[in-house]
Amino acid sequence: MANKKQKKQKSSDYTAGQIQVLKGLEAVRKRPGMYIGSTSARGLHHLVYEVVDNSIDEAMAGHCSQVTVAVHDDNSVTVADDGRGIPVDIHPTEKVPGVELAMTTLHAGGKFDKSTYKVSGGLHGVGVSVVNALSEYLEVEIRRGGSEYRQRYERGIKATELETVGKAKGSGTSVTFKPDHEIFDELEYSFEVLSDRLRELAFLNKGLLITLEDERNGKLKEEYRYEGGIAEYVEFLRRGRTALHDKICYFDTSKPEAEIELALQYDQGFSEHTHTFVNNINTHEGGMHLTGFKAAMTRTINDYARRNKIFKKDESLSGEDVREGLTCILSVRVMEPQFEGQTKTKLGNSEVRGAVEAAVNEHLSIFLDENPKAAKVIIEKSLSASRAREAARKARDLARKKSALEGGVLPGKLADCSISDPSMCELYLVEGDSAGGSAKQGRDRGYQAILPLRGKILNVQRARIDRTLSNEEIRAMITAIGTGIRDEFDIEKARYHKILVMTDADVDGAHIRTLLLTFFFKEMRELIEAGYVYIAQPPLYRVHKGKQDFYAYSERERVEYVKRLGGNGGDAKGVRIQRYKGLGEMNPDQLWKTTMDPETRTIHQVQVEHEIRADDLFEELMGEEVEPRRKFIEKNARYVKNLDV
């Protein structure tokens, strides 16, 4: 007994010997998520972006004209450029070659020296060294000063000395690495994911040639080069929507606070597609540059309309009005960007706001004066949006008045929970009254609220705000959630920190789920960004034999359970399989056990991996134009399995 007590005491002692010192890149391998976000597919692709960013920084500094990314058969990747090449001379204080320092030391890089890089994609200095640390191996080849150099690393540790391998023409750097299977959950790169980011970088850096090669099945190769830069990007994003004016408003100007580049065009749609970048980083949380842009847009268009006597009496346009149907790319380059926000993608430099506002005021005024026909259709569209907004005011006020946080009445069909702490509360959006009835009976009334939805809600991608707010089901959701929408959105007023979309496991259910996601993405995107929106996954099958019961969420699980119960392919004696087409087929206990019990349910958090791609996809699949949808179906029809018709 005494020995046990002594052992316990010794194990709980905290001594100096228990303090771990992580040298070199050990810290990165110990906590990779701190450096690349995750060890999932997202983190895997981030490795490529880190290496590519170094090449892009060379391009922004005017030293690089082409970048090549090649994915090899074994999912190793090579990133090559024709930049200056990483320095190979001996560092004056560290006494090792510059390339070795960059590959093995955090916070080591030329980006901290303003004379080397005026602007860069990142100022953390962790990029390529982190890639090295998380790779099974990394080989770097450098062409510089008429010679070619090579060095190899394994799991962040130097495997060979830097060696001269021969003479070379030109200059540049080639980095080949293979992600470490000990670190990453999966090693399969997605051609589409890489393509989206590299195409984006090519648009943002006009004239730069970026090539993506995939040596795996199919041997794909794509080249991206856009002499028109972000003006071509606007055209690319607007494809499928009819432009209101042919000429794109574009300008590129340099101010002491920032280099500012902007391109915009209006279309006949009702959605706004504004995307902002700082040093090639997508600032999807916005920031000071976006604030300055919005203020300038509203002021400039109002001033033009008043100056040209387009307005009647005291008419004026709001920010929402002037941005309806707008596709815009705003790219700024800042010497020392300060990021804030949940994902560090919100620009905090206050001086940039004034610079952007002044630049947009000046150049947009010139564009409107030089293109009066375009100015006229833009203002007419904005006035039409204003009238729609005014027509929707009553509906909006009604939704706001009914908000529980303002002491009003909640929707009658909402079965609310008894707990008042939003962080503990869940709201289930349920398809139909039948499933709603089972959910109300099966739920935990303490923290789970149920809102049944009748039929398919309005497709908000094709609707103006007045029509959106006239939809009864949408008003009920807005009232129940409590945050308001668009410019009035306030996440602090959210009545639930988990909003779960729970629909049938059939085609209709998938359609309703898509319509709801379209609504959240367009009108309450901040809920998604805060991690409040989830998809509840009901089972596809119930497999049972005697008193044994299993719920299968996929075909693979169904087969496994049938085998477990003593059969193969569904022919086992006594094994019964029930295919759930709808939630209403489950009794309350089954619904609780499979889809609502936190201990046993399967839920998927809705995340936006790539904001512009998501925006584009919603427009493609849910927008007015039919042709993009037809092309999408033709391209992806061969991947459909278990079609439910």
Return the closest-CA partner of residue 199 out of 178, 191, 220, 173: 191
> 180: exposed, middle or buried (C-beta count within 10 Å: 0-12, 13-18, 19+)?
buried
**Cα(557)–Cα(384) distance, rounded to whole angstroms?**
53
First to last CA, the chain: 69
* 508 noted as active-site residue: yes
Return the closest-CA partner of residue 535 out of 489, 502, 487, 497: 502
Catalytic annotation, pick one of 154, 303, 444, 506: 506
SS3 of 425, please? coil
Task: Give me 602's structure tokens.
Answer: 């399967």
Catalytic annotation, pick one of 357, 416, 466, 504: 504
Q: Which residues of 249-288 are buried (b: 16+ CB within 10 A; e: fewer)?
A: bbbbeeeebbbbbbbbbbbebbbbbbbbbbbbbbbbbbbb
Q: Label residue 390 left, alpha or beta by phi (over 0 means left) and psi (-120 to 50 means alpha).
A: alpha
Return the closest-CA partner of residue 272 out of 525, 480, 73: 525
Catalytic annotation, pick one of 215, 303, 508, 557: 508
Return the closest-CA partner of residue 241 out of 477, 462, 525: 462
Q: Which residues of 187-212 are buried (b: 16+ CB within 10 A; e: fewer)?
A: bebeeebbbbbbbbbbbbbbebbbbb
**Number of Cβ within a 10 Å radius of residue 499:** 26
DSSP state of 112: G
Strand-pair partners of 140: 151, 175
- Dihedral of CA atoms 363, 369, 373, 374 in degrees, nearest 10, equals 10
Catalytic annotation, pick one of 426, 431, 473, 523: 431
Strand-pair partners of 137: 178
| Active-site residue set | 431, 504, 506, 508
